[in-house]
Structure 1
Amino acid sequence: MNKLTTNFLAILTGVGLASNVIAIDELHSFSAGEAALASEVNENFEYLEDKIDDVVTGYSTLTIDCGADEYALKDYLDEARWAGRLNIYVEGTCTGEIYFNKDDVYIFDAVIQADADGAAVSVAGKTNIRFYDTVISSGTVAIRRESYVRFEGVDSGMGFELPALSADSDGIYEPSLEVRSSTLRIGSGTISNLSLKAMGASFVYINDDVVLDNAYQIWLESGSALDSSIDLSILGTAGVFSGSVLQAESLSSAEAYVEKNALIETDAISTTGEFYLADNATVHTEDLDVGSMELERGSVLSSTDIDTTGNVEVKTNSVLTTDYMTTGDLRVSTGSVLYAYETLEGVGISCWVGTLAIGDLTLTGYANEGDSSYSLESYDCNGNIDNSTLSNGSFNTGSLALQ
């Protein structure tokens, strides 16, 4: 009867599944002189038929029980290296770090917790790795080296633990999800406690079926891109740097930084704190509502409507374009330009070696408070303004401080 088992294995090898058999062998073995039960022989044939079906359909399927062994998923994937798609259904809670040595792996219904070093999942140089209905109960996920990963059908929610502040942080969080020189697609479900860092020309896509629950940080570096079909509501910082691009329905955060040829395009932006653009950064939006704002070193901002509770500085060859703007103190300096095509309302305006192009001008806190009958069609400011620069009537030059 040993010959029977050997023949089964030979047939499986012939259809390219010998390596699968070693990993998921369910064949019954028979010893010489031992009577074989018909039921066991039939089960062996059924097993063989299932494996042949896997070849025909293009994938293999198995169930791993982490309830019996918390390292079962990790240990299995450490050894899985063959070609072809593999579906793994998971029971119980698995301990990481889950590492992939093959492409085309689909994980279903997993709960994954971190190892002693705080890592839950790592994908490096692999394509078509997908997680369905997976929960990351603790630890981090790292996707690196030109990998392609998808989070799909995450109906139970992919819940990262609360991200930690970095050791030298100024309110900056360590990433719970890091994407480096890779692509990540988040297709559906609820992503909780997200702190995303993408770098090295990575691409992250968030579909419109996704819900972000308590997202703490978005950080893009080195030519990376985030394309979001949903509103991004961030409890902490949104940072876009070094040629990176952020596109979203809207963006709200505590603070936002756009630097070094980076770009943000969205319908609306709001921050409770600072909104900062530097080094040829560009922002296009329809509605901007921020605490304070600074543009410098060749940056460009265009927004139909701007409302700031704090001060605004436009300096060192930067350009701010808007139709309507309400602000605190406004300073335009060093070769910069402010275009306010309809109205500008502010507490005080100062300008030094810059250009103001304003429709109706209203200042508050001065003798002319509430009077919007003045206009500056264009004024190259390099000194004190005089009454002749205004299109209507007399004006107290002290109210518009051009230094």
Structure 2
Amino acid sequence: MIEFSGRGTKYRLGPAHQVEPAHQVGPVFQSRVAYAAAPVTADPQAENIPGAPAALDWDTTLRFRHHLWSYGFGVAEAMDTAQRGAGLDYPATRELIRRSAVEARSVGGAIVAGVGTDQLPPGPATVDEITKAYLEQLADVRDAGATPVLMCSRHLAAAARHADDYKHVYGELLSQTDKPVLLHWLGEAFDPALAGYWGSPGTVEEIIAEHRDRIAGIKISLLDADYEIAMRRRLPPGVAMYTGDDFNYPALILGDEHGHSEALLGVLAVIAPPAARAFRALDAGDVATYNTIMAPTLPLARHLFATPTYHYKTGIVFLNWLAGHQDHFTMVNGAQSGRSPRHLLELMRLADQAGLLPDADMATRRANAWLTTIGLNR
């Protein structure tokens, strides 16, 4: 047992946890589809300050994608977890998608990637300009060889005057797809600029019904389990629901007698080793083991995504640093300041209790160094 301390704060990390080596993990899961939305690693020697172009540590960023593939997960690339719209500019995004898709092919890993309009400058844009921007990114993702995920657009949320604007834009996009894509509905808890997206909730269901042969599924991140279940039951055959609910994912993935949600979650980037065991238990029909493994991850996830939810990326990178997936706690856009020391200390405690810190000595050294820099270690 190793202790770190600060002003009024003491906690002992448990002994080193036996994290299952990736090479012992089997192939992609059979009963569920599971994508982990991956963060990016900033180059700590670059000018990754607020407002500056993103500079990534490519080796570490791509190595983490291999970590996720090795446990059987697909990678959801260039989503909000990768600081899309929060510091990851589009030139860096395009390069990230291209490089990740190459790595995916090298190991036979599954990859989907976000399509948005963030190459447009902030401020007003016309519906035609928004459509053109979406189509440009759609072509980039298709050329890279990843499955497109049509993300919500801040520009469209601001420009749309009624549901028909959404139907027009998405209709144009879906008419240009040669293979089924995923839709993505990010709620305002994750991005306040997306409040009121679609004009009305029924609009997206109308879009799905009209273009069902071009839509493989929809990922919703509304943190509303009841709404997700109700919508899941209304989806047409062949269109899957992907949960983005980081508060209620174990039950939504498990499902009920009417069906289940697949997974496309940021929290899977943190809990990959135990979650892989849980998914394999579900493949074997062992619901009790699935629930036992998932249960301790839920308090962690609910704290990680606590209000203001859009700063959850800070917690993911902090835990990746403590777990040894990167060697610093620096983020694109200076986002390491997005959570308070109190929040991050509680996150570390929950990660320890969930068995997610494989090297207690290293985690303690890094925590102590960080506590010293913020003035909590004397």
TM bucket, shorter chain:
under 0.3
Higher strand share: 1
Bigger Rg, structure 1 or 2: 1
Which gives a bigger RCO, structure 1 or 2 (Cα 8 Å, sep 6+)? 2
Normalization by structure 1: what TM-score? 0.23
Give the TM-score normalised by the residue count of structure 2: 0.24
